[in-house]
Structure 1
Amino acid sequence: MAALSLIPNSSPALAQASAAQAAGRTKPSPLAPSEIVAAAPKADWTAIPASDLLVMDLAPDAKGRPRRVVIQLLPPPFSQGWIGNIRKLAGAHWWDGLSINRVQDNYVVQWGDGNAEDKAKAKPLPEGLAVMPESEYTTDDLTVVVPFGKEPIFEGRKHALRNFGNNRDAYAATVGFLDGWPIAYGGGGRLVGSTFETNAWPIHCYGMVGVGRDLPPNTGTGAELYVVIGHAPRHLDRNIALVGRVIEGIEHLSSLPRGTLPLGFYASPEERTGIQSIRLGSEVADLPLYEYLSTESESFAKYADARANRRDDFFIRPAGGADICNIPVPVRRAQ
């Protein structure tokens, strides 16, 4: 049986060189995606403002350990009406004392007012919440500049959407990354000179947070939220508002007992997990600084290519492409 030797505190390049030597190769194998991320310079990381974070503290687990979930809210121009409501709800401490009411296997975890269907017991919502039309599930605040003989340049309100390698997609004409988020676009548009005006929308990947709603034309207020804990339900894209993603603590949601009623709802209030509080990050004194790997950086380009074409030692054949949700944007505590 071959023995694997680990080199404490060694660099990824040194570890690869050692592995290559042990395997009889003269050159180190290409870096794995995680090694590319670890080697990314500080300049390639973008800080996430605390005001763009939502911090959910659940009731302690059975052993008394705290359970904190940190959510990053989507930036403009996406879903800002719902996000404005979420900021009001958090500012009013509306979720305090409510619960997680639904856990559906390979699908979503949902939280809010477990008595929302009973008008006599439902918790009143704060005044002044906005009502959004279905058209707000997408944005047309994005233009595509097409220089002759060159790759398109995607711009809109100073945003730049970056494609990655082979970006075929079953649910959209094109997918890519915009300011650190997975985005789809191309659902119609018009060509004006060298500029193509199109619409774009965020994507239901693992860990994304959306707004629960009733049947159309209801679009939800943001009081009922869910997070994806299974295979990316892309059929929900453009049908429900996405407002953010979990960047830390998703294990506290994905490991919860599954509900036994239809759609994963719990059969009794006793099965629900209580919510101690939900606050904007700017209100949380002990919150660390988080940052994401800029999707405009060379490090991210290398990382995305490595995710789509695994060339490190474990793999035999590169896939030649990757689903957009299989290229999660790296997020870390600031170093």
Structure 2
Amino acid sequence: MKWMGRIGILGAVLSATIFATTCARGQDDVWRRLDPENTLYIEMDRGRVIVELAPDLAPKNVEQLKRLVREGRYTNTSFYRVIENFVAQGGLEVDVEDIPALPAEFEWEMGRLDGVTPVESNDPFADKTGLYQGFALGYDSKEGREWAIHCPGVMAFARENEADSATSDFYFPIGQAPRHLDRNLTIVGRVLQGFRFIQGAYRGDRDIAGGVIGSKTLRTAIKSMAIAADLDPADRTRLEVINTSHPRFLEQLDAQRNRKGAFWHHGPTSFVDVCTVPVPVRLGN
């Protein structure tokens, strides 16, 4: 992994005012536009959920997800298993013979990704953590491996016990980060907008059928899913995301790491949980 900068330049709180000033100064290279080919729309009754897909992290899993979306497999499906403070799981619910099982892409060899911004070197679940295009990563220096972290709002493929058994169904962590799942399931994307629609899904009971909602009328519907590139430009939501490897972003986060001011009566810890680092999103032109 090619870490940019130094450990200790990230902060826990991002100042929206500072970034608004940055934009006013015309430094729009701080922002990057989403690639329509790797932008997923989930249409729900309450609105659109926008997910940035991560082919750099899980190329084979993302490829299959996009194929299934384009085949219309997720039209009129639902979030059928929703557990409070854990996950919202959706998709086909049953195995389909013509959908092949996927190889696990839980982790990969260190050094595959360029432009990883370091966050913390004392994480309880990893030797180091970082950000890659807004995706939280963990790193094991002894094994030379890195992986995507289960922060709230990531999209990952569900599977059976076998590592290579994921096919079509997916889930989103909707509570605290379930970091015990790291390196055990394949993360394919993360929500950039509309997460509240998933968080508002009807809950099942963890103690009854593992949270599967028995009544289909109670399940929260997925009307359709689409890849942005397949839609008319007028029907796309043009989003831009902060470039998490940009020096300006690092400067502002460094300034926020050790928070000061009249509000603080006991100095906050300088430890940064990578899942709490804000990665702002804005509407583009």
TM-score range, shorter chain: 0.7 to 0.9
Residue 288 of structure 1 pairs with residue 237 of structure 2: yes
Pick from 189, 196, 214: which aligns with 1:267?
214
Residue 138 of structure 1 pairs with residue 107 of structure 2: yes
**Which shifted more, 32-41 or 179-188?**
32-41
State the match for 2:79 in structure 1.
Answer: 100
- Deviation of 1:57 after TM superposition, in Å, equals 0.7
Note the alpha carbon deviations across 1:250-273, whole angstroms, 9 max, x for none. 111101221123432212111112
Structure 2 unaligned spans of 5+: 1-12
In structure 1, distance between residues paired with 2:228 and 2:264: 40
Code of the residue aligned with 1:82 in structure 2: it is N
- Deviation of 1:130 after TM superposition, in Å, equals 5.7
Q: Partner of 1:253: helix, strand, or coil?
A: helix
Q: 1:179 to 1:274 in 2, by over 3 A?
A: closer
Residue 172 of structure 1 pairs with residue 126 of structure 2: yes
Show the 5 A alignment for 1:34-183. Answer: 34-40=16-22, 41-58=27-44, 60=45, 66-76=46-56, 78-114=57-93, 116=94, 124=96, 126=98, 129=100, 131-132=102-103, 134=104, 136-140=105-109, 142-143=110-111, 156=112, 159-164=114-119, 166-183=120-137
State the match for 1:309 in structure 2.
Answer: 258
Larger Rg: 1
Code of the residue aligned with 1:172 in structure 2: it is A
**CA contact 1:100–1:272 (8 Å) conserved in 2:** yes
TM-score scaled to structure 2, two decimals? 0.85
Code of the residue aligned with 1:43 in structure 2: it is D
Q: 1:326 to 1:184 in 2, by over 3 A?
A: same
How many residue pairs were aligned?
Answer: 264
Code of the residue aligned with 2:48 in structure 1: it is R
In structure 2, distance between residues paired with 1:279 and 1:46: 21
Residue 204 of structure 1 pairs with residue 204 of structure 2: no
State the match for 2:8 in structure 1.
Answer: none
Pick from 254, 277, 284: which aligns with 2:224?
277
In structure 2, distance between residues paired with 1:32 and 1:331: 12
Structure 1 unaligned spans of 5+: 1-30, 61-65, 117-121, 144-155, 190-197
Q: 1:303 to 1:230 in 2, by over 3 A?
A: farther
State the match for 2:170 in structure 1.
Answer: 225
TM-score scaled to structure 1, two decimals? 0.73
**CA contact 1:181–1:329 (8 Å) conserved in 2:** no
Q: CA RMSD in A?
A: 2.1
In structure 2, distance between residues paired with 1:225 and 1:307: 35
